[in-house]
Structures are given as C-alpha cells and as structure tokens.
Amino acid sequence: MSQSTREQVMRHLEAVGYLQPALHKPQQAPYPDEIDHSLYRAYTRSAHDVGGEPDTPMTWEEKEEEQWELNTFATCECLAWRGVWNAEERRRRQNVDLGQTQYLGLPYYGRWLLTAARILVDKQHVTLTELVSKIDEVKSRYEQN
C-alpha cells in the first residue's frame, strides 16, 4: 500500500507538471501590474466560449455512447427533476466552473459525472467526507475482486 501510494504520488506530480497554464511564465501568481486588461479578460473568460480561437482541424468520428455515459446522463436529468439544479446551472458548472484545463482535458461525460458529484456536495446533499469514504470503500471492494 505505502510503496504503491508513493509511486502514485510521484506519477501524479509528473502528470500535473503537464497542466501548467498555457501562458508559460517563470513565476506564477504574478504581481497585479503584470496583468493588463487583455490578460485579465483572457483569464476570467468562460472556458466554453471557444468560438474564433485558433485550432487545428479535428477528425470527425462516430462513437456510440457507453453504458456509464448513458447512466451519467440519466443521473443528471434526475437531479434536475428532483430540484437539485436546472439545465443552465448544470452547463455553467460542467463547462465553465471547472476551469479551462478540465474543460479541455476531460471527456465530455466525464465532466457531467464530476459535476453531478460536485453539485451534491456544494448543496449539502452529501458531505465530501461521505463521498470520499464511499469512493474509498468501492475502490477497495473493486481491487479485491
């Protein structure tokens, strides 16, 4: 456990090294006078507003939804039906609130699922302690089988 956890930590530190802000600077958390209005607006923009940004062509591929993706969709719809959020609140959370790195870096339904867990914690339907304990419990059970 301990040894593999340490290896996991080292792999994690290597992975987050790739997730630095796209604007590379020798020193992060700059002094206020280093941020002009253009930079301020770029940093605080809604991450989903990508129209007009330079990018390379993407290959269009047909992909069927996987079972966990369908389950995630149904879960999120039930959360709306039961009054936990509305659709626009869901979009704000899964497209903007999680920030540009996660918006661009995670699969589409991965963001839905993460956001469904987040809203339940934010609105005190479950505590983070309960969520983390459950994840840990399920993980142990899964690793035994």
Residue positions annotated with a catalytic role: 108
**Please, which residues have CB within 8 angstroms of residue 126's CB and are 6 or more apart in sequence?**
120
Provide the mask over 10-49, with x wherever binding to other proteins is found by CB under 8 A and - wherever it is not. Answer: -------------------------------x--xxx--x
Q: Which of residues 81-100 bind other proteins (CB under 8 A)?
A: 81-89, 91-92, 96
User: Using CB under 8 A, which of the segments 11-19, 59-67, 74-82, 132-140 binds other proteins?
Assistant: 74-82
Residue 75 in the binding site for other proteins (CB under 8 A): no
CA angle, 62 then 66 then 71, to 5° = 135
Which one, 27 or 38, has the nearer CB to other proteins?
Answer: 38
Distance CA 105, CA 136 (A): 24
What is the token pair recorded at 16?
């987050």
Pick from 116, 56, 57, 54: nearest CA to 85: 116
Query: What is the token pair recorded at 93?
Result: 């959370």
Least Cβ distance, residue 82 to other proteins (angstroms): 7
